[in-house]
């Protein structure tokens, strides 16, 4: 008859030599890592898609300002009484619905293209500059632009597991449209 210690050693030796179930254990480890990777890819993809939708909502809002106010009503933020309501309705008509909203007031000003081909703020709508000399382009005339900023709060699908919880939220995007 074997002592307790010897019986344990024999059982452990038999357990080490037995290969049954090893494939199942290996599959469980690999499947776990695969699931975490799939969760992260899907959550990051949804975040990027929502970010594109927010960009689209900002652009739709800015374009609706152009449609709501014709050039004879400039400056639009002063002379178009239904501007904010029109832009808000347009922003919320996108696929994000009421989850997206205007962040702050609609702004308007005169801008010029500078020598680097970038829009440069020149003045507010009450003080139209004569030309774009301050931007280094004397031959150009300043143009009236409306700027619309929208915001959307993103919450990850898989909180705690996904890296999408580390992304910036709320998502805020801005779009500008030339009025004239």
Query: What does the DSSP assignment read for 90-134?
Result: HHTTSTTGGGEEE-S--EEEEEEE-TTS-EEEEEETTS--SSBGG
Bridge partners (DSSP) listed for residue 148: 175
pLDDT in tens, 44-65: 999 999 999 999 999 999 999 8
Q: How far apart are CA 123 and CA 134, in angstroms?
A: 11
Assess contact for 118 and 95: CB atoms under 8 A. Answer: no
91-123 pLDDT tens trace: 999 999 999 999 888 999 999 888 888 888 888
Contact indicator for 74, 180 with CB cutoff of 8 Å: yes
Q: Give the contacts of 104 (CB within 8 A, at least 6 positions apart).
A: 149
Residues above pLDDT 90, as percent of the chain: 39
Task: Supply the pLDDT for residue 2.
Answer: 59
Read off the pTM. Answer: 0.78
Q: Are 179 and 146 in contact (CB under 8 A)?
A: yes
* Eight-class DSSP state of 71: G
pLDDT digits (tens, 9 = 90+) for 113-158: 888 888 888 888 888 888 888 777 777 888 889 999 999 999 998 8
């Amino acid at each position: 008859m074997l002592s307790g210690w010897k019986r344990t050693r024999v059982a452990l030796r038999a357990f080490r030599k037995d290969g049954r179930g090893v494939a199942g254990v290996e599959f469980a480890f690999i499947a776990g890592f695969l699931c975490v990777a799939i969760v992260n890819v899907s959550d990051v993809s949804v975040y990027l898609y929502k970010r594109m939708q927010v960009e689209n909502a900002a652009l739709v809002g800015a374009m609706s300002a152009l449609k709501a106010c014709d050039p004879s009503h400039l400056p639009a933020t002063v002379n178009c009484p239904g501007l904010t309501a029109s832009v808000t309705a347009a922003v919320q008509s996108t696929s994000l619905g009421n989850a997206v909203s205007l962040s702050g007031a609609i702004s308007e000003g005169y801008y010029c293209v500078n020598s680097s081909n970038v829009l440069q703020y020149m003045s507010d709508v009450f003080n139209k500059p004569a030309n774009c000399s301050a931007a280094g382009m004397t031959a150009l005339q300043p143009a009236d632009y409306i700027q619309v900023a929208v915001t959307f709060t993103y919450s990850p699908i898989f909180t705690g597991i996904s890296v999408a919880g580390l992304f910036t939220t709320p998502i805020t995007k801005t779009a500008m449209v030339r009025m004239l």
